[in-house]
Amino acid sequence: MVGRGGRSRGCKTCRRRRVKCDESKPVCTRCQNSGFPCEGYPKDLTFVDEGSRFATPASSKAGSRTREKSSGDVTSISPKDSQTPNVQLAISKQPTLSPFQDEICLAYLTRTLFGNNQNSPLTSHVWDSAVASTDSAKLGYTAVSSLATTYFGRMHGSNEELLCQGRRLYGQAVHRLALEICKPEEASLSQQVMLSALALYYYEMIMNTSDVGWVEHAGGIGRLMEVRGPRRHQLAPDHDYFLFFRRTLIGQAFVTRKRTFLEREEWKTIPWAMQPTPKTTEHFLLDVSANIPGLAEDMDRLERNGPIAARNPVGPNEEQALRENVRQKLIDTFKSLLEWRFNWESTYPDVVAETISMPRSSLVSNLNRPRCLDRVFYYTDIKRAEEIQQYHLTMLWVLGLVMRLQDNSVTPSAFGPWPLNRRPDASNAIALPHEGMTTLTVAREIARSTENFTQPQYPRRQLLRLLGPLRGCVLVFMLSGQTEPHELSWVSGVLCRISDEFGFEFCKRFTKLPPLGFYQPRQNERVSEGADSYTFSDPTTGFRQTFLSQ
């Protein structure tokens, strides 16, 4: 005998989170262990159709006549047929998923972007805990619905109806968020506000409504976090939010070339003060990366480039002191980055190997491959791959700043504590840092690590960790006079396919100059064919940038 399908008897919280409930009463143990308030168990009512037991021949005949009279998509049952006065029923023959649309779109978003994955437990935990605390009456629900509806529509043939609905919800969410932020501090710093900002940030990455949409939302998240202060982020869930957003905020600061509050020492220590586990390798690397935007801002002031320099010009008596300050900070940051990399090599031996072949995903198939990809890198642990890509991106910035400062003493000073006899032996296929490395050699290492991220066992959100490094590759390959055939087109092709196949439309902006969100040059000029520098300028902002090829 085939029984009726089972009905979940889990608590309301576990059912909303879509996790298995242990059904302990009065509150479930799973909610208690996860730190969620258990909302108790629903009292489901089961309706059983007993109408057939009392059906009369007359009523059956009436039903037959009604079916015979039906035509088209809608059947009308009139008072004459039903023997019930003042009742008109319209029964559609074409079912609709509208009542379940929110649940379907949210489930799809969670599964494809934020679903459980052992390689990114923090991402899954932050998203699950935030959504579990949201209901239709709260601010976060509107923002999450906007993101979920838009992403589902984008990934299913760019369904215009869903995209329009997502845009409408996006507008409502932005308006509600603006009102919420104006409230007293505790309300404006609530978990719902942070969840809304997170959802709107991802919406901009998907829809790419403007050059700086995602940058502005990330900046808003940063301002909220800074107002909260480092002590507010010592315990869950705020500590988890801090870790989740930290890399994003540093990336946003890279783009805007403005220093971030995360470079301050208290933001590198206090959030971990009450944690039972020490900082990870990635946490220490991001400590170094957080210094870069401030150095870039100071360098722009030295070169009198851009709107920040225009608002805060360097006086004639200040320039030498600023230059020396930039030089010393750059040496210290370079030293810290080298120390991190040498320690990483000793801590994680034999996690990266070279291979001449790797299963090709649709993101890289049929692209013309440059010679540097004759041998690519395979990582046994995707977390190590993420760390090395972030290291390479940070190194690109450091080397670029060294070139712009045009001070030959920086590199020897940075390598000073690391003579050859103190450096670890190479146990991985990726190159150890050395005095002769260039932005071009680092960019090629990034390209050789890219295919590891495209393997099908990793979720789509893993590709987001590629975007900053690939953007750095684009700039280097565009501006270097020594790029080999297909290097730029291959990296640009990967970014465009991430956009087309996985929904992150803004990736296409990463394939172009200028640096996203900073300035829009109206004039591009190469100094001369084969020259070792490339200059572009914007007469409107007064920004003029020269890149030296290596």
Are residues 256 and 369 located together in one domain of the fold? no
Are residues 354 and 478 located together in one domain of the fold? yes
Are residues 362 and 507 located together in one domain of the fold? yes
Helix (H, G, I), strand (E, B) or coil at 404: helix
Are residues 309 and 257 located together in one domain of the fold? no
For helices 487-502 and 439-453, the axis angle rounded to 10 degrees is 40
In a domain, 61, yes or no: no
In a domain, 488, yes or no: yes
pLDDT, residue 414, reads 98
DSSP one-letter code for 227: H
Q: Domain range for residue 480?
A: 303-519+546-550
Average pLDDT over residues 260-286: 97
Tokens of 493: 């092709």
Are residues 372 and 316 located together in one domain of the fold? yes
pLDDT above 90 covers a percentage of the chain that reads: 39
Query: pLDDT-derived band of residue 536, with 50, 70 and 90 as boundaries?
Result: very low
Edge-to-edge strands of the sheet including 543-548?
523-526, 533-538, 543-548
Average pLDDT over residues 436-465: 89
Query: pLDDT-derived band of residue 532, with 50, 70 and 90 as boundaries?
Result: very low
Number of domains in the chain: 3
Strand spans (E) along 265-348? none
In a domain, 88, yes or no: no
Are 363 and 494 in contact, with CB atoms under 8 Å apart?
A: yes
pLDDT: which is higher, 103 or 347: 347
Are residues 423 and 515 located together in one domain of the fold? yes
Q: Which of 50-54, 167-171, 281-285 has the lowest mean pLDDT?
A: 50-54
pTM of the full structure: 0.75
Q: Which of 256-265, 458-467, 517-526 has the lowest mean pLDDT?
A: 517-526
What are φ and ψ of residue 520, in 5° steps? -120, 100
Return mean pLDDT, the chain.
Answer: 78
As a three-state string, the secondary structure of 67-91 is: HHHCCCCEEEECHHHHCCCCCCEEE
pLDDT of residue 358 exceeding 90, the answer is no
Helix (H, G, I), strand (E, B) or coil at 353: strand
Burial per residue of 238-265, b for 16 or more beta-carbon CB atoms within 10 angstroms, e otherwise: bbbbbbbbbbbbbbbbbbbbbbbbbbee
Place of tokens 């009905």: 7
pLDDT, residue 255, reads 81
Query: pLDDT-derived band of residue 398, with 50, 70 and 90 as boundaries?
Result: very high
Strands 352-355 and 89-92: unpaired
In a domain, 51, yes or no: no
What's the Cα-to-Cα distance from 64 to each of 52, 56, 90, 512, rounded to whole Å? Answer: 15, 12, 17, 67
The most distant pair of C-alpha atoms in the chain lies apart, rounded to whole Å, by 104
Are 498 and 507 in contact, with CB atoms under 8 Å apart?
A: yes
Highest mean pLDDT among 29-38, 45-54, 401-410 belongs to: 401-410
For 64, other C-beta atoms within 10 Å of its C-beta total 10
pLDDT of residue 186 exceeding 70, the answer is no
* Domain boundary residue, one of 232, 263, 279: 279
Are residues 271 and 313 located together in one domain of the fold? no
Are residues 221 and 254 located together in one domain of the fold? yes
In a domain, 49, yes or no: no
Q: Is the dihedral of CA 307, 310, 316, 318 positive or negative?
A: negative
Are residues 256 and 335 located together in one domain of the fold? no
Average pLDDT over residues 501-516: 76
For 429, other C-beta atoms within 10 Å of its C-beta total 19
Are residues 242 and 307 located together in one domain of the fold? no
Query: pLDDT-derived band of residue 292, with 50, 70 and 90 as boundaries?
Result: very high
pLDDT: which is higher, 147 or 198: 147
CATH number assigned to the domain comprising residue 34: 4.10.240.10
pLDDT of residue 540 exceeding 50, the answer is no
pLDDT of residue 135 exceeding 70, the answer is no
Strands 376-379 and 523-526: unpaired
DSSP one-letter code for 433: P
